[in-house]
Amino acid sequence: MNSVIYAIESLSIWVGRAFGWCILILTLSVSYEVFVRYVLNAPTVWAFDMMVQMYGALFLMAGPYALAQDTHVRGDVLYRLFPVRVQATLDFVLYILFFFPGMLALFWFGAEIASDSWRYREVSWNSPARIQIYFFKTLIPLAGGLLIIQGIAELLRCWKAMRTGQWLARLHDVRETELALMEDMKKTQEAG
């Protein structure tokens, strides 16, 4: 079971890293647009649409990554006080009742939206560049599918925690700077 969980988690991390490059593209395109608009007085017709698509792609494809890293927002005022078995049971039930129906809807209706967009070869209606958006709309069901797959890994993780009373360690990718600094400070204090 651990190998299945880690394989799915690795896929989600890989996708998150791959789409993380959208941040660089987004930053460079915004910088370019600001320069040509305000310094050269020659704005582009494509930059706004490209920025919207990059941000949307990043937002959609970061979902499975964030779920794999357990970084989604959680109201854990009481949750963190519960024993691991209670946490896992609560998570298991909430995944079944809320997460999977929502992700199945995202996948199902996203596939319809993407299919229609491909059939019409949809372009952006609010842009003089009239860029194609059917490629972008394909990411909607893809994100839903990846979230469903990662959700299965989370269910398996909950099942294991309900049985053993311990959470399975996650594959770690990056950490927030504050956490890294706090750990370094703790190690320094322990060392004397």
Q: Could you tell me if residue 34 is left (phi over 0), alpha (psi between -120 and 50 degrees) or otherwise beta? A: alpha
Q: Band of the pLDDT at 191, cuts 50, 70, 90?
A: confident
- Summarize pLDDT for 44-59 with one digit per residue, the tens: 888 888 888 889 999 9
**Is 181 part of any domain?**
no
Q: In the structure encoding, which two tokens stand for residue 157, read together?
A: 């993780």
**Is 151 part of any domain?**
yes
**Is 183 part of any domain?**
no
Expressed as residue numbers, the domain containing 121 is 2-171
**Rounded distance, CA 14 to CA 19, Å?**
9
**Is 14 part of any domain?**
yes
Chain centroid, CA 133 distance in Å: 20
Residue partners of 189: CB distance under 8 A and separation at least 6: none
**Is 57 part of any domain?**
yes
Start-to-end CA span in the chain (Å): 41
**Rounded distance, CA 142 to CA 136, Å?**
10
- Summarize pLDDT for 11-52 with one digit per residue, the tens: 999 999 999 888 998 999 999 999 999 999 999 888 888 888
Our count of domains for the chain comes to 1
**Rounded distance, CA 169 to CA 65, Å?**
16
**Is 81 part of any domain?**
yes
Q: Band of the pLDDT at 176, cuts 50, 70, 90?
A: low
**Is 185 part of any domain?**
no
